[in-house]
Copies of this chain bind each other. A is one copy, B any other.
Amino acid sequence: MKGQKDATIGEYLLAKLQEYNIQHVFGIPGDYVLRFYQLLEESPIHHVGMTREDAAGYAADAYARVHGIGAACVTYCVGGLSMTNSIAGAYAEKSPVIVISGAPGMEEQRKDPLLHHKVRNFLTQKHIYDQITVAGTVLNDPVTAFDEIDRVFDAVYRQKRPGYIELPRDMVDARGRQLHQPADRETISDPDTLRSAVQEIVDLISESENPVILAGVELHRFGFQDKLVKLIEKTNIPVAATVLGKSVIREDHPLYLGIYEGAMGRDEVRQFVESSDCVIILGAFMTDMNLGIYTAKLEREQTIYITSEQVLVKYHAYEDVTFSDLLDSLLEAPLLKRESPVLDWIERSDRQVDIQADAPITVTRLFEILNGFIADDTMVIADIGDSLFGAIDLKIHQRTDFLSPAYYTSMGFAVPASIGGQLARPDKRVVVLVGDGAFQMTGMELSTSVRQGLNPIVVVINNHGYGTERHLQEGAFNDIGDWQYSQLPKVLGAGKGFVIRTEGELDDALKQAIAHTESFVILDVQLDKLDQSPALMRLAERLSKRV
């Protein structure tokens, strides 16, 4: 941060955002953050005004997943506390989001008056964010402010989880100073431990008959997708992905098996992985959703588990070994190239889908037909429920072109996320898959898509209520209002809407959607209340035993 010695706290924070290459900040202004907004507007960073703060959190999360790090900026309490859930999701799924919140000035706070937006005391919001961030600070002292900003950015960058920076409004223009050099961003492994770990892992792999790699979300977050490809091409070890890891590798790669998610996923993939005598888990978290609600059967005796938080080989752990160093060492290690595995059971050809023009559309056919429309420039963002379960089988062409809150499973992620995703990758066309229940939560954020000139294709999987729940416990509480989604262009003043009842209408609408690039397209896909994907059918059966 050269040249920042005489900066104000606001200027330093903006410079730091730029140092981390954050080009878009998502949020909503409010009086306690207006001065910083003014500085933001004067900076090269783009402010993306959203309609709601929770949506700003989702957009920043998606931006971070695609771009490496993201940021949201909101006002005190009424803004910050509206974003609690989105940031909790970013914490749970390891997405590095910097949260910047305005606050009453220190001078105003001094006498502890009942200033508007205050809840219990002036630290209420900070205490709440302590629960859902890896580092947090209130910039209440110009002497320490720069170091505090460095500390939060550093923790967020290393741990790939959200951080919290609260900026009292009378501190924005206060001049700070740098006491310490910002920490070096690299952590280094203990060389002997690293050597020992690599040796054991190489031996285990070399001795194994049919090793397999299970690739997870951290390969996205740390940008290690290339390392993964090198590793499998060097060794011919095939790779499956967890749900959160989906699209960590282009899905037509000859060594890619598909999604492993226990009994929820395709049986061939499950059998392949579970019959392996050496499962190398890279950057995956063993969540219930990743594992199809704990139906996966992986033996620790045959498992090598490598993440940024832990390195476990069978029953023991190696401390002080970084994810990055271990991957690099494996790439350099004497691992033999095996014979190509026999993977002829995988459907390789994108087989032509025959459209039955007048056949009523079903969930299964919806995803089969959609699959034919996925192109190299398509980014798929799936909300939860059958949007996610069905999307698991879509073949993604490019890496990190699939986003979904697959573990935290917060409804309403997808539409706001499409804004962050496409702004981070303007060369992409985003296909949003979203249920009607989730759309009613955040779908109006299409307003922001219009303002930003984005053009998502939004597929509303309209099964008239909370479909996944109907299969667990039916009741009137699963019903929701029947919106005419295709009429939204009339309200938003842009976009194109379709009502889809047959395969022919779907095919036609998708063709028109591809051609319509100037604004959003929304497809109201009318499904039977109880229609479901095969994956949901299997999952619901298991989940319903626990309700």
Q: Chain A interface (Cβ within 8 Å of chain B)?
A: 29-31, 34-35, 37-38, 40-41, 47, 49, 51-52, 54, 77-78, 81-82, 84-85, 88-89, 91-92, 105, 108, 113-120, 124, 127-128, 131-132, 169, 285-290, 294, 407-412, 440-441, 444, 447-448, 450-451, 466, 468-469, 472-473, 475-485, 487-488, 490-493, 543, 546-547
Can you add 10 more A-B contacts, CB < 8 Å, to A49-B480, A481-B493?
A29-B466, A31-B546, A37-B475, A38-B473, A78-B85, A82-B410, A84-B128, A116-B289, A119-B131, A119-B132
With contact pairs A51-B440, A288-B113, A475-B37 given, residues A119 and B88 touching in the complex (Cβ less than 8 Å)? yes
In the bound complex, what is the Cα–Cα distance between A410 and B77 (angstroms)? Answer: 9
> Which residue of B49, B116, B127, B491 contacts A287 across the interface (Cβ within 8 Å)?
B116
In the bound complex, what is the Cα–Cα distance between A52 and B51 (angstroms)? Answer: 14
CB-CB < 8 A to A547: which residues of B? 31, 34-35, 169
Q: Shortest distance in angstroms between A144's beta carbon and chain B's nearest beta carbon? A: 24
Q: Shortest distance in angstroms between A141's beta carbon and chain B's nearest beta carbon? A: 20
> Which residue of B287, B450, B480 contacts A481 across the interface (Cβ within 8 Å)?
B450
Nearest to A465 among chain B residues (CB) is B49
Q: Shortest distance in angstroms between A160's beta carbon and chain B's nearest beta carbon? A: 14
Q: Shortest distance in angstroms between A512's beta carbon and chain B's nearest beta carbon? A: 21
With contact pairs A35-B547, A47-B477, A84-B128 given, residues A491 and B493 touching in the complex (Cβ less than 8 Å)? no
CB-CB < 8 A to A49: which residues of B? 476-477, 479-480
With contact pairs A294-B113, A478-B29 given, residues A54 and B82 touching in the complex (Cβ less than 8 Å)? yes
9 pairs of residues in contact across A and B, judged by CB atoms under 8 Å: A29-B473, A34-B472, A37-B473, A41-B477, A49-B477, A92-B118, A114-B287, A124-B132, A447-B481
Residue in A85, A408, A469, A482 whose Cβ sees the most chain B Cβ within 10 Å: A85
In the bound complex, what is the Cα–Cα distance between A299 and B475 (angstroms)? Answer: 58
With contact pairs A35-B547, A546-B108, A547-B31 given, residues A487 and B484 touching in the complex (Cβ less than 8 Å)? no
Residue in A52, A468, A478 whose Cβ sees the most chain B Cβ within 10 Å: A52
Nearest to A81 among chain B residues (CB) is B85
In the bound complex, what is the Cα–Cα distance between A326 and B395 (angstroms)? Answer: 72
> Which residue of B85, B448, B490 contacts A490 across the interface (Cβ within 8 Å)?
B490
Q: Shortest distance in angstroms between A489's beta carbon and chain B's nearest beta carbon? A: 9
CB-CB < 8 A to A451: which residues of B? 480-481
In the bound complex, what is the Cα–Cα distance between A78 and B409 (angstroms)? Answer: 8
In the bound complex, what is the Cα–Cα distance between A448 and B411 (angstroms)? Answer: 18
Q: Shortest distance in angstroms between A347's beta carbon and chain B's nearest beta carbon? A: 29
In the bound complex, what is the Cα–Cα distance between A477 and B39 (angstroms)? Answer: 11
Nearest to A107 among chain B residues (CB) is B546
CB-CB < 8 A to A128: which residues of B? 84, 128, 131-132
In the bound complex, what is the Cα–Cα distance between A49 and B473 (angstroms)? Answer: 15
With contact pairs A35-B473, A84-B84, A447-B481 given, residues A119 and B105 touching in the complex (Cβ less than 8 Å)? no
Residue in A114, A116, A451 whose Cβ sees the most chain B Cβ within 10 Å: A116
- Asked if A81 and B77 make an inter-chain contact with CB atoms under 8 angstroms apart, the answer reads no
CB-CB < 8 A to A479: which residues of B? 49
- Asked if B82 and A480 make an inter-chain contact with CB atoms under 8 angstroms apart, the answer reads no
Q: Shortest distance in angstroms between A59's beta carbon and chain B's nearest beta carbon? A: 15
Nearest to A469 among chain B residues (CB) is B29
- Asked if B476 and A41 make an inter-chain contact with CB atoms under 8 angstroms apart, the answer reads yes
> Which residue of B444, B469, B475, B481 contacts A440 across the interface (Cβ within 8 Å)?
B444
CB-CB < 8 A to A31: which residues of B? 468-469, 472, 543, 546-547
In the bound complex, what is the Cα–Cα distance between A41 and B476 (angstroms)? Answer: 8
- Asked if B481 and A448 make an inter-chain contact with CB atoms under 8 angstroms apart, the answer reads yes
CB-CB < 8 A to A441: which residues of B? 51-52
Q: Shortest distance in angstroms between A518's beta carbon and chain B's nearest beta carbon? A: 16
- Asked if A78 and B469 make an inter-chain contact with CB atoms under 8 angstroms apart, the answer reads no
- Asked if B82 and A85 make an inter-chain contact with CB atoms under 8 angstroms apart, the answer reads yes
- Asked if A117 and B408 make an inter-chain contact with CB atoms under 8 angstroms apart, the answer reads yes
In the bound complex, what is the Cα–Cα distance between A322 and B481 (angstroms)? Answer: 46
In the bound complex, what is the Cα–Cα distance between A289 and B412 (angstroms)? Answer: 33
CB-CB < 8 A to A472: which residues of B? 31, 34
